[in-house]
Amino acid sequence: MRGLIHRLFYTVFQTLCQPGTKKLTASDLQDLLARVPSPSTVLAISELIRTFAEYGVRIGALENRVDLLEEFKRNVEGLMSLAPITGEAGLSSFEAASWHLIDDMMSRLGDLSAPPPGPGIRANSWS
């Protein structure tokens, strides 16, 4: 059953990626069900499944980064609310705490560059 669902999804996906008017009929469904998928179709479906799985991993990593950045923002806002209004000694203490907070966050975030796309992810893969 899962293979059939993948084939149906792939057929709809492939149709949507074509230029022009999109049309799928009950007859198209009957043809799809009657045919044995070609090896190239099976390979394309496997690649599509793998690509979506890679997107899931990448989105999870991005969500983790956003969570860290939101935590950092809350910490900075809390620190700013405690910032001394006057006094050089208080200001240097505030600056030291600020830099410590920034260093801690940067070490937890790691490399901020976007990871390269996996082998199944191509630029303009939807066209």
Task: Tell me, yes or no, whether 85 lies in a domain.
Answer: yes
Per residue in 30-85, pLDDT (tens digit) is 988 888 888 988 898 888 888 888 888 888 888 888 888 888 888 777 776 666 55
Each as own residue / partner, the long-range contacts of residues 50-56 (CB below 8 Å, 24 or more positions apart, any chain) are 50/120, 51/118, 51/120, 51/121, 51/125, 54/117, 54/118, 54/120, 54/121, 55/121
Per residue in 94-104, pLDDT (tens digit) is 677 777 777 77
Task: Tell me, yes or no, whether 126 lies in a domain.
Answer: no
**Residue 87, pLDDT above cutoff 60:** no
Domain containing 88 equals 2-16+25-109
Task: Tell me, yes or no, whether 68 lies in a domain.
Answer: yes
Task: Tell me, yes or no, whether 48 lies in a domain.
Answer: yes
Query: How far apart, in Å, are the Cα atoms of 99 and each of 20, 68, 70?
Result: 56, 17, 17
Q: What is the number of domains present in the chain?
A: 1
Task: Tell me, yes or no, whether 127 lies in a domain.
Answer: no
